[in-house]
Homo-oligomer: A and B are copies of this chain.
Amino acid sequence: MFEIKIDDAKYWKNCIDSIVSLVDEGSFNISKEGISLKAMDPSGISMVYFMAPNKIFSKYNITEKKDKEAAEKESHDSYIGLNLDNLSKILLSSRSGEQLLMKDKENKMALEFIGSNGHRDYTLPLIDVKKSSDNEPKIEFESFIDIKGDFFKSILKDAAQLSTYVGFKAEDDSFIISAKGDAGEVKEEFKVDKDIIQRLEAKKPSSATFNLDYLTRMVNACPSSENISLSMKTDQPIKLSYKIGDAIVSYYLAPYMES
């Protein structure tokens, strides 16, 4: 049982968009700490971890389902399986200044948009989401780059003109992006720079190649003022994370291994 309110319904849409760009359905874990979701995309090459701490909500009630004794043994967490595409469609209706109240209701999720002129009530069926292995990969990353989100988006867009893959390499004080296709090849080198690259730390040289389509979907929901943090290790999955207000989203993407 939960009853959770967020004062800016449009902001919540941005949060959900960071998930829906990678997966169609998922199971939200509603715990004392906040609302989180872990999911692997259907192809199995990428994962998303989303966490919205309870402080972003103006009301955050979670009541226990069972008697106190049972409750003490068990977790109070609720799991809410949803079709995220449908949730995103519903959130698309958010109007400026509307609040959003979310609660469970007879095996459905109820969403109430509350505006100054009335309210709009949605119900969304709960679904069983097949539990996938969603443990966060344990990688001892060796390189770390913080890059301005908008700039990183434009780099990916340029690389996509030439290829469907992009190579990242962090080495000493350089971050190098490269792509190669029939039409030509490109290589771009960056140094630390207060405007674009705010952190660049390569304990060891780290390089790997990634699918551009996945990367593009991952950066899509990054607010224009935010930085994107990249964590890398040679030929290991990349970790890419950014903040959406006080919520955090992280992605892992397996490297592309040329055969």
| A residues at B contact (CB < 8 Å) | 83, 85-86, 89-90, 92-93, 95, 117-125, 154, 157-158, 161-162, 183-191, 193, 195-196
| Distance (whole angstroms) from the CB of A17 to the closest CB of chain B | 15
A85 to B85 Cα, complex, angstroms: 36
Contact partner, A119, options B118, B122, B188, Cβ 8 Å: B188
Contact partner, A189, options B118, B190, B191, Cβ 8 Å: B118
| Distance (whole angstroms) from the CB of A20 to the closest CB of chain B | 13
| Distance (whole angstroms) from the CB of A95 to the closest CB of chain B | 7
Contact partner, A118, options B117, B183, B188, Cβ 8 Å: B188
A86 to B186 Cα, complex, angstroms: 12
| Distance (whole angstroms) from the CB of A187 to the closest CB of chain B | 5
Contact partner, A121, options B92, B188, B193, B196, Cβ 8 Å: B188
Contact partner, A117, options B95, B123, B190, Cβ 8 Å: B190
A155 to B92 Cα, complex, angstroms: 12
Chain B residues with Cβ below 8 Å from A86 are 183-184
A211 to B154 Cα, complex, angstroms: 37
B121 with A187: CB separation less than 8 A: yes
| Distance (whole angstroms) from the CB of A103 to the closest CB of chain B | 14
